Amino acid sequence: MKKRSLTFLVSLGLLVVSIALIVALNVDFLKSAIGKNIQAYGYPSVFIFSFLADSVDQPIGPEVPASFAVIFGLDPLYIFGLSVFGSWIVSSINFYIGKRFLSKKIRGVCGRSSRNRVCNLFKKYGKAEILIASLTPVPYVSSCWAAGAFGMKFRDFFVFGMLARALRIGFFVNLVSYLV
């Protein structure tokens, strides 16, 4: 079971890194595509791009499509609500993925003593890790997976991850609406 779990985790890690690399290398193209689609389709595209931005670890967060929408003259309050709703849905899904699928894989790879150390480390600093990941450009999706995998309570994940992510989105929407 250990070898199979290790293979799964390595494959998942390589997939996430390759997607992040593809997005990072094509960030200008993606930003222009997001801008064009938001200009063409309006509010639904804000929700879709916010959902997609938090689906996979990559450098474009949900505040980017929200900022484009504000620049194109859409209502900042609706933009904030749609961006937060899209981010919260996919954050909950990622938390559940970590809880349902990755916790067994982590137990399979780590031995008892190392898992206990890692679990104790996450229990001690997990809230701070989720808070930092939700407010900064640190990979947020893998933090959601880790929160679920290491058994963080959803209430704590909501407060330190999802509400903090909403504050980040709100900050950028307000900043862009003030500057425009």
The model carries a pTM of 0.81
Q: pLDDT tens digits, residue range 127-147?
A: 999 999 999 888 888 889 889
Can you give the pLDDT at residue 115? Answer: 56
How many distinct structural domains can be found in the chain? 1
Question: How much is the mean pLDDT over the chain?
Answer: 85
Can you give the pLDDT at residue 88? Answer: 95
Can you give the pLDDT at residue 155? Answer: 96
Can you give the pLDDT at residue 68? Answer: 87
SS (H, E, C) the chain: CHHHHHHHHHHHHHHHHHHHHHHHHCHHHHHHHHHHHHHHHCHHHHHHHHHHHCCCCCCCCCHHHHHHHHHCCCCHHHHHHHHHHHHHHHHHHHHHHHHHHHHHHHHHHCCHHHHHHHHHHHHHHHHHHHHHHHHCCCCHHHHHHHHHHCCCCHHHHHHHHHHHHHHHHHHHHHHHHHHC
Can you give the pLDDT at residue 108? Answer: 61
Domain range enclosing 69: 2-179
